[in-house]
Amino acid sequence: MEVCVFSWLLTALSVGLYGKYTYAEDWCDHLVVSPPFLLVEYGSPAEANCSVTKTNQTLNNYQLGWESKASQPYTNNESSVMWKVDSLTMWEEDQIICYLTVRRTSCENKVNVTIYKSPDSVTLSSMSDVWVSGDQTQLRCQIENVGPGRKLSVRWSRADPNQKNIFIQINETSFPDLVNKMESVNVTAYLNVTPSREDDGAQYQCAALLNLDKNLKQITSQPITITVHHWCDHLVVSPPFLLVEYGSPAEANCSVTKTNQTLNNYQLGWESKSSQPYTNNESSVMWKVDSLTMWEEDQIICYLTVRRTSCENKVNVTIYKSPDSVTLSSMSDVWVSGDQTQLRCQIENVGPGRKLSVRWSRADPNQKNIFIQINETSFPDLVNKMESVNVTAYLNVTPSREDDGAQYQCAALLNLDKNLKQITSQPITITVHHWCDHLVVSPPFLLVEYGSPAEANCSVTKTNQTLNNYQLGWESKSSQPYTNNESSVMWKVDSLTMWEEDQIICYLTVRRTSCENKVNVTIYKSPDSVTLSSMSDVWVSGDQTQLRCQIENVGPGRKLSVRWSRADPNQKNIFIQINETSFPDLVNKMESVNVTAYLNVTPSREDDGAQYQCAALLNLDKNLKQITSQPITITVHPGIKTHITVLIIIIVLIIIIAAVSISYTYYRCKGKKGQQEGLESS
Ligand SMILES: *[C@@H]1O[C@H](CO)[C@@H](O)[C@H](O)[C@H]1NC(C)=O
Ligand SMILES: *[C@@H]1O[C@H](CO)[C@@H](O)[C@H](O)[C@H]1NC(C)=O
Ligand SMILES: *[C@@H]1O[C@H](CO)[C@@H](O)[C@H](O)[C@H]1NC(C)=O
Ligand SMILES: *[C@@H]1O[C@H](CO)[C@@H](O)[C@H](O)[C@H]1NC(C)=O
Ligand SMILES: *[C@@H]1O[C@H](CO)[C@@H](O)[C@H](O)[C@H]1NC(C)=O
Ligand SMILES: *[C@@H]1O[C@H](CO)[C@@H](O)[C@H](O)[C@H]1NC(C)=O
Ligand SMILES: *[C@@H]1O[C@H](CO)[C@@H](O)[C@H](O)[C@H]1NC(C)=O
Ligand SMILES: *[C@@H]1O[C@H](CO)[C@@H](O)[C@H](O)[C@H]1NC(C)=O
Ligand SMILES: *[C@@H]1O[C@H](CO)[C@@H](O)[C@H](O)[C@H]1NC(C)=O
Ligand SMILES: *[C@@H]1O[C@H](CO)[C@@H](O)[C@H](O)[C@H]1NC(C)=O
Ligand SMILES: *[C@@H]1O[C@H](CO)[C@@H](O)[C@H](O)[C@H]1NC(C)=O
Ligand SMILES: *[C@@H]1O[C@H](CO)[C@@H](O)[C@H](O)[C@H]1NC(C)=O
């Protein structure tokens, strides 16, 4: 506001002071150009006028003119001047300027000039003679002599087969290379199209588009209508896939069914590793081999080629080879319950290896021939094996008694995509032996005195199963008798002196399997002597003393203990156990030993006449052997305390007796004296 007021003041002052002068600036509002901009086709004439409109102020001594590349007309003191070219061909002429100069000042007005060149031609064509649905192809738009290059783009449009001539823009191609191109150019644009079946009959167009600031010039090509071929619908293979046994003949036919479209100059043929038959312009071709032995032949392809384009139809080929044999066998001649064994399935000449697996199945003893799959063996090593192979598969089986009579089968399984081929072995029936139940030892355990003879018998009781080619025997430290194919074997020693012989084992071996039955052996040695004695010659009541029990040659040491017993003086020979001595040092002693055990005893006077015994005790698992010493009878002497007590009692008695006799004597004397006195007094 302040600036405006100031500016107004300044103007007023200027006018007031220098009113006779005029300045160009004041006239710019009256400098009129017409038209305000020019849009000119290249080579056409062009003109523009510039004039000073009349005003109340008088204007004189001025120049009015045009600046431009093409021409520079001007006039002095005339109210208008014309810019004019007969044929505008100067692409750089993008602006012409009208100026008014009054003495030292000037002002100007610009006219933008836009030159363009409509293309001589816009031509749309297809890069493929034949369009096939699904195959990408190109449309080409050629534009000749259009400018300026920097304002050019190409529009692509398309009309639906059902809505002819209603074109909808689908893409636009721009030309980044031409952004600085002032002049006209020749360009070719391409559009990638992958037609679908529904595009059949569609129309395409392209258009050169000049984006001229205030104006869009669009020059459109003639439309083209496309025909989309889909021969694959008409290219028929039969059968759609082949499953062929190795070495068998195989054939497949490929034909073109008649269509409304005329088809000529084409080739119809097969591509395959075995053979490549083809025909020109015939409607069908046969692929045929007498004996298919090419494992790699997993796909054959029928093709139809029309000039530069082609289409194809594939036939998957699956070749297989049924095995020459599938043989199931057992790795053990004899099956024994609880022993793991193996079944072996041998398959010869089966293919392809990569599609092979082995199925194992089993029928219950009670449900013969109702096989249920129990396992499957696959062959990861063979995943890339196209050809036939020989394989052996194993199944681990640990039979139980209930499996006796069960049946097993194995089968080669070819998993052929749409088809499963299964070739099964003959079943085998297994007999599960459990001989151990029939292996009888007698006696079930042995208790033998050291140095005595011993024997045990082992026999196989008869069963329904035939048993042959076997060995029956004993394992022991003393001896190892055995027999082949006899039903019993005796273990026997004349004098058992081997303390370590704590278990003997009867075994039955049938070829590679065996079972066994054990007999525990307990050897013992009764002591040569068990001697009880007292460590004191004289037993005094209240004094602790010891009893000693000496045991000679008793075994095994680890099973020995000593029992102490006592009979009351009043109940002779009724011994009651009073203590037991064990021998922790001997826990590992298998052999016989000499031991001495002691018992501390502090007798009382009542023990006088009591009897003691000791006994060697062998704790032989199922048996207790006890060997007892001769008893000893003890005489308990009174101790010193008793003597003193008796002495004191005697002394006290003596004193009492003495006192009593003294006082008696006294009173008796006194009585006599009285009597005497009485007698005397009387
Ligand atoms: C010019 O003169 C006319 C009549 O004489 C008058 O009406 C008009 O306002 C004047 N214009 C200017 C800009 O002074
Ligand atoms: C002339 O062109 C310039 C830029 O090239 C633009 O800024 C101006 O507005 C144009 N003038 C007219 C009157 O179109
Ligand atoms: C236009 O064409 C270009 C090149 O062919 C392509 O990359 C683009 O996806 C097309 N755009 C549309 C909308 O189809
Ligand atoms: C365009 O091509 C034509 C002939 O094909 C040629 O006469 C003309 O000079 C070319 N124009 C440009 C701008 O290259
Ligand atoms: C082929 O021609 C028959 C009759 O001329 C017509 O009914 C049929 O629709 C045509 N088929 C195609 C695919 O053009
Ligand atoms: C042919 O095999 C391929 C893979 O190997 C599969 O994708 C296709 O579906 C098969 N074709 C037929 C007709 O079975
Ligand atoms: C399978 O073994 C047999 C003989 O046992 C042999 O003749 C054949 O060539 C073998 N096949 C393969 C594929 O190894
Ligand atoms: C199948 O056999 C394999 C190998 O012998 C074994 O590891 C697997 O446990 C078995 N599967 C069944 C379900 O028995
Ligand atoms: C052995 O045979 C007898 C008669 O033939 C039969 O009763 C018995 O069940 C059979 N035993 C076994 C274990 O098969
Ligand atoms: C044999 O001795 C072992 C331990 O030494 C015992 O487990 C087993 O029951 C004994 N067998 C018989 C028949 O006494
Ligand atoms: C026990 O002692 C007797 C003689 O005192 C001796 O002959 C015997 O070898 C001894 N026995 C043991 C096992 O030490
Ligand atoms: C058995 O004798 C031992 C050693 O002489 C002694 O320590 C223990 O008290 C006695 N046990 C009995 C029940 O008298």
Residue 412 has pLDDT above 50, yes or no: yes
596 lines ligand 11 (CB under 6 A): no
In this structure, whether the domain defined by 435-524 belongs to CATH 1.10.3720.10 is answered with: no
Residue 561, amino acid: S
Could you give the 3-state DSSP secondary structure of residue 373?
strand
Asked if residue 506 lies in contact with residue 474, where contact means CB atoms within 8 angstroms, the answer is yes
What would the DSSP string read from start to end of 128-178? -SSEETT--EEEEEEEEEEB-GGGEEEEEEEE-TTSTT-EEEEEEEE-GGG
Evaluate if residue 152 carries a pLDDT over 90: yes
pLDDT of residue 300: 96
- Phi, psi torsion values for 667, nearest 5 degrees: -65, -35
Query: CA-CA distances (angstroms) from residue 283 to 29, 253, 256, 308, 533?
Result: 85, 11, 5, 19, 129
Instruction: Name the band, by pLDDT with cuts 50, 70 and 90, for residue 17.
Output: very low
Please indicate whether residue 586, judged by its CB atom, sits closer than 6 Å to ligand 11.
no
Q: Looking at the predicted structure, is the pLDDT value of residue 269 above 90?
A: yes
Mutate to test the pocket of ligand 6, among 243, 316, 319, 355 (most ligand atoms within 8 A of CB): 316
pLDDT band for position 25 (cuts 50, 70, 90) = low
Q: Which ligand is nearest to the CA of 259?
A: 5
Pocket of ligand 2 (CB under 6 A): 36-37, 112
Atom of ligand 8 nearest to the CA of 396: 5
Residue 373 burial by Cβ neighbours in a 10 Å radius (0-12, 13-18, 19+): exposed
pLDDT for the residue numbered 529 = 97
Structure tokens of 632?
Answer: 């000893």
Domain 529-637 has CATH 3.10.580.10: no
* 551 pLDDT tier (thresholds 50, 70, 90): very high
Q: Say what the pLDDT of residue 16 is.
A: 37
Q: Are 330 and 341 in contact (CB under 8 A)?
A: yes
pLDDT of residue 89: 94
Look over the chain and give the mean of its residue pLDDT values, rounded to a whole number: 89
d(CA 216, CA 77): 40
Asked whether 169 lines ligand 3 (CB < 6 A), one says no
State if residue 134 touches ligand 6 by the CB under 6 angstroms criterion.
no
| Cβ-Cβ contacts under 8 Å for 95 (sequence gap 6 or more) | 110, 111, 112, 113
Q: Give the sign of the dihedral formed by CA 461, CA 465, CA 470, CA 474.
A: negative
Q: Kindly state the percentage of the chain with pLDDT values over 90.
A: 66
Q: Any idea what the Cα angle at residue 426 is, between residues 395 and 295, rounded to 5°?
A: 80
Tokens coding 568: 């009351």
Whether residue 18 has pLDDT greater than 50: no
What pLDDT, on a 0 to 100 scale, did the predictor assign at position 56? 60
Q: What is the pLDDT of residue 23?
A: 57
Nearest CA to ligand 4 atom 8: 145
Ligand closest to Cα of 182 equals 4
CA distances from 647 to 428, 540, 604, 644, 657 (A): 107, 18, 20, 5, 15
**Distance of alpha carbon 413 from alpha carbon 355, whole angstroms:** 8
Residues 254-266 have a mean pLDDT of: 75
Is the previous residue joined to 569 through a cis bond, with omega within 30 degrees of 0? no
**348, amino acid identity:** E
The residue contributing the CA closest to ligand 7 atom 7 is 349
CA distance 486 to 476: 19
| Tokens at 131, concatenated | 């369009």
Q: Measured between alpha carbons, how far is 495 from 378 in angstroms, rounded to an integer? A: 62
Cis omega (within 30 of 0) for bond into 240? no
**Average pLDDT in the 604-614 region?**
93
pLDDT of 113 reads 94
Query: Which of ligand 12's atoms lies nearest the C-alpha of 579?
Result: 1
**Angle ∠(64,65,66) on CA atoms, nearest 5:** 155
pLDDT at 12 over 50: no
Establish whether residue 629 lines the binding site of ligand 11, counting it when its CB lies within 6 angstroms of any ligand atom.
no
Expressed in angstroms and rounded, the spacing between residue 142 Cα and the centre of ligand 4 is 12
What proportions of the chain, in percent to the nearest 5, are helix, strand and coil? 15, 50, 35
Q: Residue 10: pLDDT band by 50, 70, 90 thresholds?
A: very low
| Of the ranges 10-14, 303-307, 308-312, 651-655, the best mean pLDDT one | 651-655
Q: Is 531 in the pocket of ligand 11 (CB under 6 A)?
A: no
Q: What spacing in Å lies between the alpha carbon of 260 and ligand 5's midpoint?
A: 6
Contact 480, 472 (CB under 8 A): no
Q: How far is the CA of 349 from the centre of ligand 7 (A)?
A: 6
pLDDT higher at 463 or 222: 222
Q: Is 241 in the pocket of ligand 6 (CB under 6 A)?
A: yes
Rounded average pLDDT over 299-305: 93
Q: Is the pLDDT of residue 678 over 70?
A: no
Place of tokens 């100007």: 108
CA distance 12 to 116: 49
Cβ atoms of 497 and 591 within 8 Å: the answer is no
What count of residues does the chain have?
682
The residue contributing the CA closest to ligand 2 atom 1 is 112
By most ligand atoms within 8 Å of CB, the mutation choice from 396, 398, 403, 408 for ligand 8 is: 396
Assigned superfamily of 121-229 = Immunoglobulins (2.60.40.10)
Q: For residue 137, how far is its CA from the centre of ligand 3 (angstroms)?
A: 13
Contact criterion met (CB below 8 Å) for 473 and 466 = no
- Sign of the C-alpha dihedral computed for residues 495, 497, 503 and 504 taken in this order: negative
Q: What is the pLDDT of residue 213?
A: 81
Q: Which atom of ligand 3 is nearest to the CA of 191?
A: 5
pLDDT in tens, 27-42: 777 889 999 999 999 9
Question: What CATH code would you report for 231-320?
Answer: 2.60.40.10
Per-residue confidence (pLDDT) for residue 5, from 0 to 100: 40
Question: pLDDT-derived band of residue 9, with 50, 70 and 90 as boundaries?
Answer: very low
Q: What is the pLDDT of residue 310?
A: 78
The CATH classification number of 24-116 equals 2.60.40.10
Identify the band that residue 14 occupies on the pLDDT scale cut at 50, 70 and 90: very low
Q: What is the pLDDT of residue 564?
A: 97
The answer to whether the beta carbons of residues 481 and 558 sit under 8 Å apart is no
Best residue for ligand 4 mutational test, from 145, 150, 183, 188 (most atoms within 8 Å of Cβ): 145
Closest ligand 11 atom number to CA of residue 552 = 1
Q: Quote the ligand 2 centre to 28 CA distance (angstroms).
A: 17
Give mean pLDDT, residues 302-323.
88
> CATH for 325-431, among 3.90.1170.20, 3.40.30.10, 3.40.50.300, 2.60.40.10?
2.60.40.10
Rounded distance between C-alpha atoms, residue 605 and residue 626, angstroms: 31
Token pair 């010659």 in the structure block, residue: 537
Distance CA 310, CA 232 (A): 10
Q: Which two tokens stand for residue 87?
A: 């044929």
Nearest-atom number in ligand 3 for the CA of 156 is 1
In what helix (H) or strand (E) does residue 659 lie, and over which residues does it extend?
helix 640-681
What band does 266 get if pLDDT is binned at 50, 70 and 90?
A: confident
> What mean pLDDT do residues 474-503 have?
94
Pocket lining: 178 vs ligand 4, CB cutoff 6 Å: no
Q: Which two tokens stand for residue 330?
A: 């057992």
Which atom of ligand 12 is the closest one to the Cα of 599? Answer: 5
Pull the structure tokens for residue 547: 């009893």
CA distance 470 to 485: 5
Could you tell me the two tokens for 241?
């896939």
* Span(s) in the chain for CATH 2.60.40.10: 24-116, 121-229, 231-320, 325-431, 435-524, 529-637
Lowest mean pLDDT among 175-179, 237-241, 641-645, 661-665: 641-645
Residue 650 tokens, joined: 């005697």
Cα 242 to ligand 6 centre (Å): 11
Question: Closest residue (by CA) to atom 2 of ligand 10?
Answer: 520
Q: Is the CB of 553 under 6 A from ligand 11?
A: yes
Lowest pLDDT segment from 28-32, 298-302, 422-426, 503-507: 28-32
Where residue 136 falls among pLDDT bands split at 50, 70, 90?
Answer: confident
Return the pLDDT at 180: 94
